[in-house]
Every structure is written in structure tokens, then in C-alpha cells.
Copies of this chain bind each other. A is one copy, B any other.
Amino acid sequence: MTANPLREKAERLRALHAGPRILVLCNVWDAASARIVEEVGFPALATTSAGIANSLGYADGQRISRTEMAEAVARITRAVAVPVTADMEAGYGPTPESAAETARAAIAAGAVGMNLEDALEERNFIDINLQCDRVRAAREAGEQAGVPLVINARTDVYLAGIGSPAEQFAEAIRRANAYREAGADCLFLPGATDAAVIARLVREVNGPINILAGPPTPPVGELERMGVRRVSMGSGPMRATMALMQRIARELAESGAYTSFTRGAISYAEANRLFSGRDVEP
């Protein structure tokens, strides 16, 4: 009997949420960014839905199809050996079956983890009980495929910013703990950036939490000391490279110099070496 090779990768990714070290995810959007982050030594990779959408010509927010997103994830998983968790937005549909279908697509693309959001568009939240059914459906789809998919259940409560800080906190806890009860492995709370709030979330969420990094967020070491188990960068790295491209194009247009794209660039040989011998890998 041949074991599904993704099973071991899923367990490896799950174990990285058990502490004491925090899991740091430097989100990637294509095979090049994925290989670079892998080579720096990160033990797992996460995709950014916004970065993938932009690279393929879409705005973020499920404007891309499930199929096109899964194809992008597959190009990334084919390029690397480490476990990959895929940002599959809100699962490309409102039902438990759409969440299950998205879990199957993520696994078929070679991912062993998946984000599942609880708002279809900004501030359009999915009923908490329905979202729990969706978490269960995604988990069961993984089990049926022989892959214990690591589910990162995201609540958009802090991004939506509805109500007072106390109301937001209460709703975030209510949703996170319900998703945990339904089988989520990790609870993702983007928009929670204040150290005191994060410390309370660590105490009151009954499972590992994922914080989104950004200028106002405590640095990685501080999050780790607070007990946060996972920190991700979202589309930040992709947007930084887009800004560099803007500076390169502006320099060319304005002064005709080549400094911005040659200073510190990796060589042509080094770029290609990242992909040597990778043509035929599954």
C-alpha cells in the first residue's frame, strides 16, 4: 500500500503550529517567489490570494476562479519540496459543498493546508453555523482524499471593523472558537495588530492563532513570546516587489538609468539555477 505523499507533508505542516517556535510564513505568489523563500530556509510556504490574483490580472476577492487559483497553487507546489498552504479565499462559493470542492482542488494542486474565510465580500459575513459546516466539509474532503488538510479558519471580524473594540473582540472569539470546535487547526485573525488585543486573543482562543504582519504589528519575536503560533505576511511581499517595478519603470522613463533593476539583482545564472532539474518533478 502506497501512502499519499501529501499526508506526511500535512502532518509536518500541522506540527509547525504546535510551538514553542512561531511558524513564519513569507507569502508567495509564483514559482520564483516560492523557490526563493524555500532557499532562504523556511520550513513551509503559504500563498497570497491577492498576490496570485494580481499576478494573473485580477483584483483580489474571488474575482479569479477556483480553477485558475488552483492552477497557480499547483505551479508553486511543483517548484518546491516544503509543505504549502494555499489561500483559497472564502472557498469560491457560499455552501459547505463549495468549501469541500475547494479543499479537493487545493489537495489536487499539491497543497496540504488551506485558508477558509468567513466573509464572501467585505462585511458580508457567512452565518457562524454555516461557516462551521463549511470548516467540517473542508476537513472531511481532506480525510476522504487521504490528506489531513491543515485548515486555517479566518475570521474577517477585525478587517470589517464593525462595532466597538469590545464587540469586535467578543465576535472574534465567538467565531474563532466555533471554527476550532468544528475542526479548524489554526484561527486566522487579520486586522488584529495591537499587542494587548493579540495577547488576549492568545488567551481566549482555544487553539493556535495566526496574526497578519504589517507596520503596526509587533515583530516576529514578540509575537512568539506572546504565544502566537503563526504569522503571515499576506500580499505585503508581492506589493513590495510591485513597488520596486514601479521605481524601475519610473527611473527608466525619467532618467534612462539602469540602477534600480541592476543594483543588488540576482544574476541570470542564479535565477535559472533555482529551477535546474525541476522540469519533471511532480
Contact = CB atoms under 8 A, between A and B. Distances in A.
A252 B26 contact: yes
Interface residues of A, number: 76
A274 interface: yes
A124 interface: no
B258 A213 contact: yes
A169 interface: no
Given A248-B237, A252-B220, A264-B243, A57 B36 contact: no
B42 A30 contact: no
A262 B236 contact: yes
Interface string A250-276: 101101111011111111100111111
A188 to B, nearest CB: 16
B258 A240 contact: no
A54 interface: yes
Taking each of A61, A221, A271, which has the highest tally of chain B beta carbons within 10 Å of its own beta carbon?
A271
Given A252-B220, A252-B233, A242 B36 contact: yes
A116 interface: no
Interface string A37-73: 1011110000000100111111111010000000000
B59 A75 contact: no
A279 B58 contact: yes
A11 B265 CA distance: 34
A249 interface: yes
A112 interface: no
A252 B24 contact: yes
Interface in A90-117: none
Contacts of A85: none
A268 B50 contact: yes
A261 B55 CA distance: 17
A57 B40 contact: no
A32 interface: yes
Contacts of A279: 58-59, 63
Contacts of A24: 252-253, 256
A40 B253 contact: yes
A55 B215 CA distance: 28
Contact of A271 (B30, B42, B63, B235): B235
Interface in A9-34: 24, 26, 30-33
Interface of A: 24, 26, 30-33, 35-37, 39-42, 50, 53-61, 63, 75-76, 78-79, 213-215, 217, 219-221, 224, 233, 235-250, 252-253, 255-258, 260-268, 271-276, 278-279
